[in-house]
Amino acid sequence: MTSQPTQKTAGSAGPAGPAPGGHGLQAGLKNRHLSMIAIGGVIGAGLFVGSSSGIATAGPGILLSYALVGTLVVLVMRMLGEMSAANPTSGSFSAHADRALGRWAGFSIGWLYWFFWVVVLAVEATAGAVILEGWIPAVPQWAWALIVMVVLTATNLVSVGSYGEFEFWFAGIKVVAIAAFIVIGGLAVFGLLPGVDSDQAGISNLTEHGGFLPNGAGAILTGVLLVVFSFMGSEIATLAAGESENPQQAVTKATNSIIWRVAVFYLGSIFVVVSLLPWDSKSIADDGSYVAALDSLGIPHAGQIMNFIVLTSVLSCLNSGLYTASRMAFSLGERGDAPRAFARTTGNGVPRTAILASVVFGFVAVFFNYAYPDSVFLFLVNSSGAVALFVWLVICFSQLRMRKIIQAEAPEKLVVKMWLYPYLTWATAALIVFVLGYMLTDTEHDGRKTVLLSLLVAALVLVTAFVKEKVGRGRAARVEVIASAEPRDEVKTG
């Protein structure tokens, strides 16, 4: 790969100035990388392994749950796209919140987002290790977790281009696999697939077996709680855009394509699953929704095929999670909200310290998963569980303020605009608050525990932010007093 010109991300000169020894991030991501990162970002491993519990809870009505959350994601991404197209930066929504709402907001949501992704590193590394141990049992599970973490850390340390290349192929496999699933499954649903004679398949599965909402309308909201976190990752394209050749174009393209991505990959694939099989089929609960659907088509080795696809999704999520956590740490370092070493980059534009710090915490979380799975690690998972909703809420409030700032300073940068501003932004924020409130009533799926623990961690980070800001103001005031006193001393001695 030919070297790309150095490109400092927009707004990279934080309050404390550029980090010493830093070269800045580089525009090492190509258009094809950004396109696949944007497409693959909405397809997480949670779609493949977590949808069965949602189907069991809401029946075919889970389609409405996915549609509701998908609409929420589309609206939030539209707001984020508006801000990021006007000011592409590796800090994305954290940098926007910093400017729109205050240093405390950028600090808090940035660290919470970093915390979310380093915990995800441990979750995904363990999930991948389980699959790999099943294929090669001679290597223990903890060793597989270590291997995948080390390999992907090395990939991220080489250059942003190597991350982009790995993600291009990981995401490509996911996209091709789910597209093939939708096409083959759709043909079977409508009786157009040669060689398949399934008495179970058909649109009638949506209304039979207790109806479209067999467990009542309330199950739609419960389904929302089960699927909302599988959408986390759609915002990665806005962080990666800061290291692309044409950030504004990349953000605009990712924002405009989010609707069909959610519609096709989430709603399309779940529609196929609940049409191929009755929602209460025992195989969905025992084998997982996608494996059960493949088995119903008579596809041999369906379980192993899905294991390979899930492993690819896990590696993709690990790869992107490490990239995302390190870039957020880099941005926090540039703005003086993290150790200045986080903002230093190598000659290849890689924030090495930010990557290593993120992966070290990931390794610690993996250790807790094996040593204390039901105490320390469970706390980490639950306390980061509602961060996605916190991030989306902050994006809403940031956009309300940033629209006015952009219009006043550079209205020509509003190449992406939020629909029906500000009414739809307020409606989206209200919906997020409603979902958080509903989670507090959910004891069956640990919704209440997740929100309360996440609020506890958020409160700790907020207190840290305000203390840091107060200390910073005190230091600035002392420096100003000293500086103003120096000229008077010179006059006296003169």
Residue 77, pLDDT above cutoff 80: yes
pLDDT recorded at residue 244: 81
Tokens, residue 172: 């490509």
Amino acid identity at 223: G
User: What does the block give as tokens for 349?
Assistant: 């534009």
Q: Is the per-residue pLDDT at 3 higher than 70?
A: no
Q: What is the mean pLDDT of residues 18-39?
A: 70
Helices (H), 136-279: 141-158, 160-189, 218-227, 236-240, 247-256, 258-262, 269-276
The pTM assigned to this predicted structure is 0.87
Residue 214: asked if its preceding bond is cis (omega within 30°), the reply is: no
27-41, 179-193, 436-450: segment of lowest average pLDDT = 27-41
pLDDT of residue 29: 83
pLDDT (tens digit per residue) in 59-68: 999 999 999 9
Residue 355 — pLDDT band, cuts 50, 70, 90? Answer: very high
- Residue 17: pLDDT band (50, 70, 90) is very low
427-440 confidence digits (pLDDT tens): 999 999 999 999 99
Containing H/E element for 453? Answer: helix 447-493
Stretch 112-126: mean pLDDT:
91
Query: What span, in angstroms and rounded, lies between the C-alpha atoms of 142 and 55?
Result: 32
Mean of the pLDDT values across residues 18-33? Answer: 67
Q: What is the mean pLDDT of residues 305-318?
A: 87
Share of the chain above pLDDT 70, in %: 89
Predicted confidence band at 329 (pLDDT cuts at 50, 70, 90)? Answer: very high
Give the integer Cα–Cα distance in Å for 134 and 278.
29
Percent of the chain with pLDDT over 90: 44
Q: Which two tokens stand for residue 153?
A: 């850390």
